[in-house]
Amino acid sequence: MFRFDNVGLRYGMGPEILRDLNFRIGPRSFQYLTGPSGAGKSSLLRLLFLSIQPTRGLISVFGRDASTLRHNDLPRLRRRIGVVFQDFRLLDHLTTYENVALALRVVGKPEQRYRSDVLELLNWVGLGDRINAYPPVLSGGEKQRAAIARAVIGHPEILLADEPTGNVDPPLARRLLRLFVELNRLGTSVVIATHDTDLMRQFPARTLALEDGRLNVHD
């Protein structure tokens, strides 16, 4: 699904913050992305989401060279990727329900076909009583859960999650991780950037460890 060959990344004229990355993310795989603050985890997720291009090297996405993609190709490819951003990126003028349902609405799916799925998922993540609330009145943990629900509602082929359990308590963090594990069981590849070593011990998986801009893979 994704292949990185000798990938390097720098911003402007600064030093490379990612260098010589060589790894694969295969179908139905599950992996953690770890590393200290400032190691480049969010930048690596941005490369995976096609929001930035590498400075050098080759990234292959769903069998295509990312450097040859046209601007018009990106929306279609990104619909195959679910993303949980660290800053949530919910739309303040939409309710919780509308934020989660938006990805289905923009592809033309009629509401009667997805309403029950959205409500079931919101109940599962503990937001069943907040479906009509707007993001400005939600807590950080509630926004986090809404962002997760929005990312997974369309059953993406790959899910990228940037610290998805960072704003919730440990029991809910375990529950949310079980959602990711179940999504993976149903066929979605999952990449979770996290510092939570307790969760990683409870749900062992392949680890992509970033340090000093380089990546070590522990299967």
Determine the 3-state secondary structure of 201 from DSSP.
helix
In which domain, by residue range, is 172 found?
A: 2-218
pLDDT-derived band of residue 198, with 50, 70 and 90 as boundaries?
A: confident
pLDDT in tens, 88-136: 999 999 999 999 999 899 888 999 999 999 999 999 888 999 999 999 9
Q: What's 158's domain CATH number?
A: 3.40.50.300
Token pair for residue 68? 């040859």
pLDDT in tens, 41-92: 989 999 999 999 999 999 999 999 999 988 888 888 888 999 998 889 999 9
Residue 171 makes CB contacts below 8 A (sequence gap 6+) with none
Q: Which amino acid is at 167?
A: N
pLDDT of residue 90: 95
pLDDT of residue 175: 84
pLDDT of residue 29: 96
DSSP character at residue 186: T
Within the chain, how many helices (H) and strands (E) appear? 7, 10
pLDDT-derived band of residue 9, with 50, 70 and 90 as boundaries?
A: very high
Instruction: Specify the number of domains making up the chain.
Output: 1
Taking CB atoms within 8 Å and a gap of at least 24, the contacts of 145-148 are: 145/172, 145/176, 146/88, 146/90, 146/96, 146/99, 146/100, 146/122, 147/84, 147/85, 147/88, 147/89, 147/90, 148/84, 148/176, 148/179
**Is the pLDDT assigned to residue 166 strictly greater than 90?**
no
